[in-house]
Amino acid sequence: MTSSLKDVAALAGVSPRTVSNVVSGSARVAAETRQRVQAAIDELGYRPNLAARSLRAGRTGIIGLAVPELHSPYFAELAGLLVDEARHRSWTVIIDQTLGDAEAERRLLTGDGGRVMDGLIISPWALAPEQLTADAPSLPIVLLGERSPQGLAERVAVDNVAAADEATTHLLALGRRRVAAVGLQPHLGNGTADQRAAGYRRALRRAGIAPRTEWERPVDALHRADGARVMTALLDSGAPPDAVFAFSDELALGALHAAHERGVRVPDDLAVVGFDDIEDGRYGRPTLTTVSPDKAQIARVALQCLADRIYSPGNAVPPVDHTIPHRLLVRGSTVTAAR
């Protein structure tokens, strides 16, 4: 026997309207109520026909997700979480990578994808928020990352300055004083590296240590090879660091590889902190201390923001900046486990 929306409402102890709001994401529902409704949906095996409902409302049930690099473990994990969240709303997600190219980002907004999508979640590396909203003024957009939308679009991001400060302070608290920062990207304008550098410098100054240009190393990309190359250069310098704050886990893993190749003991001779909490870092030897953004919450909030904008008449929801929590996960690359 096929269950109906009214059956779900009766089991969950809510109104049919509340069930409809949970299913469609068309309105905010308290977390406890949403969980109760979802449990009833799962128990009854209720499958709403959102496709027909969307078509009647002039929507396709298709949203877009644009990230710079799909081969990046961070963006791959985040994309998977977003797809899972979208499935709860019976949305289909079209995923594309832009490689940080302005034309690729613009094409998503103005090309065929922009005409079939109900909305777009994008992590822009090239276009500024004002360019994004100008190119697609009627397309609901949610930004991921650090570029300030200045009231033009909703944004979901972590506090990179605070997170980098916390990571650097952890290294300083271990007695490290020659702390290098690996990951500056002056060729990009997305703001991520700038904010992490600002947090790194703030922690140094608070500890009475003047930031030094030779300790701040730029990279072409946030990949393992870049981390290994920069770490090798630091070890070959006249005064190698005793700690490294890498702006991504991939950079940190590359740095760990280079240190191992040179016989540098981690964490005895060199402490390393990364950023992103990708799966690889949990299984390396040593395991990687890292800043862990709440990727699951990033996905949930981004999808809810997009739903709010899609279902709001005239896309009139006021844009808001959403700061997602992070935590520092201390592991073997900075602290030796007690025996």
What's the pLDDT tens digit per position in 119-155? 899 988 777 667 766 665 678 889 898 666 566 678 8
The beta strand positions in the chain, using DSSP E, are 62-67, 92-97, 119-122, 141-144, 154-158, 179-184, 216-218, 243-246, 271-275, 289-293, 321-324, 326-329
Put residue 62 in one of left, alpha, beta given phi > 0 → left and psi -120 to 50 → alpha: beta
Lowest-confidence pick of 36-40, 91-95, 216-220, 272-276 = 36-40
What's the pLDDT tens digit per position in 162-218? 999 999 999 999 999 999 999 998 877 668 899 999 999 999 999 999 999 999 999
The beta strand positions in 145-297, using DSSP E, are 154-158, 179-184, 216-218, 243-246, 271-275, 289-293
Mean pLDDT across the chain: 86
What's the pLDDT tens digit per position in 281-327? 999 889 999 999 999 999 999 999 999 888 875 556 677 889 999 99
CA 114 from centre of chain? 23
pLDDT tier at 270 (50, 70, 90 boundaries)? very high
Lowest-confidence pick of 42-56, 89-103, 265-279 = 42-56
83, exposed or middle or buried, with CB in 10 Å at 0-12, 13-18, 19+? Answer: middle
CA 260 from centre of chain? 29
Rg (CA), the chain: 23
pLDDT at 239 over 80: yes
Query: pLDDT at position 55, please?
Result: 46
pLDDT tier at 269 (50, 70, 90 boundaries)? very high
Angle formed by the axes of helices 295-311 and 73-88, nearest 10°: 50
**Percent of the chain topping pLDDT 90:** 53
Lowest-confidence pick of 13-22, 263-272, 282-291, 297-306 = 13-22
pLDDT at 14 over 90: no
Q: List all residues 6 or more positions away from 79 whose beta carbon is below 8 Å from its beta carbon.
A: 65, 67, 70, 95
Query: pLDDT at position 10, please?
Result: 86
pLDDT tier at 339 (50, 70, 90 boundaries)? very low
Query: pLDDT at position 241, please?
Result: 96
